[in-house]
Amino acid sequence: MKTFKEFITEASREEAEKKRLAKDNPDEWRVRNTGSGRWTTKRKSSIQGQGERRSQNLKPLTTRELEDHCKRNLHPGDCKKNAKKAIRIEGGRKRAQKTDARNRTQQTGQQYDVDHIQGQPNRRREGLRSRFQKIHPGDSSDNRQVMHGDENRSKNSKNTQRSTTRAGAVRAALMRARE
């Protein structure tokens, strides 16, 4: 037996799907959950643009950034090798998180997503951008978690757990590489 919320969510999704099919070119549109059980249609190009804007806000760790941190803080060993190793480990951790979300989705039949712990805002005032990049952890594996899709959509861009800084994410990546 469905709960009232499940029933309403299902009905509104069907209505959004009907809206999408009624458009002139329905293949250019997608049905999306906007949170709290509301569904809407949105152009695929707009969704792609949103992803591009967010990726500019949340930069992944770079080899250069890791090398600079290593040199500034006098880490032992070859900084280039440690930075490259840290990037490989970082990529492996991100792939493992995506695989975990995919496996959970297949096992339970419910959607699981890889979510950022510290939310990714869409826009920022021009004067604060450089400072934001220095303190925000960005798209590092330490700032990601696997969570249920409904929970992810309901929280929007709120921070859910601890907060970390960009320097903390860089330091953690280099420490994993040294071990």
Number of domains in the chain: 2
Same domain, 103 and 163: yes
Which has more confidence, 141 or 120?
A: 141
pTM metric for this prediction: 0.66
pLDDT band, very low/low/confident/very high, at 111 (cuts 50, 70, 90): confident
Domain that holds residue 16: 1-57
Q: What is the pLDDT of residues 150-164, one digit of tens each?
A: 787 777 666 666 677
Q: Is the pLDDT of residue 67 over 60?
A: yes
Cα–Cα distances in Å, from 58 out to 78, 159, 160?
28, 14, 17
Q: Is the pLDDT of residue 13 over 90?
A: no
Q: Using an 8 Å Cβ cutoff, are 82 and 127 in contact?
A: no
Strand partners, 116: 144
Same domain, 51 and 70: no
3-12, 55-64, 89-98: the lowest-pLDDT one: 3-12
Same domain, 133 and 91: yes
20-34, 51-65, 68-82, 104-118: the lowest-pLDDT one: 51-65
DSSP secondary structure string, 106-172? Answer: HHHSS-EEEEESS---S---GGGHHHHHHHS--S-GGGEEEEEHHHHHHHTT---S----HHHHHHH
Q: Which of 36, 57, 78 is the last residue of a domain?
A: 57
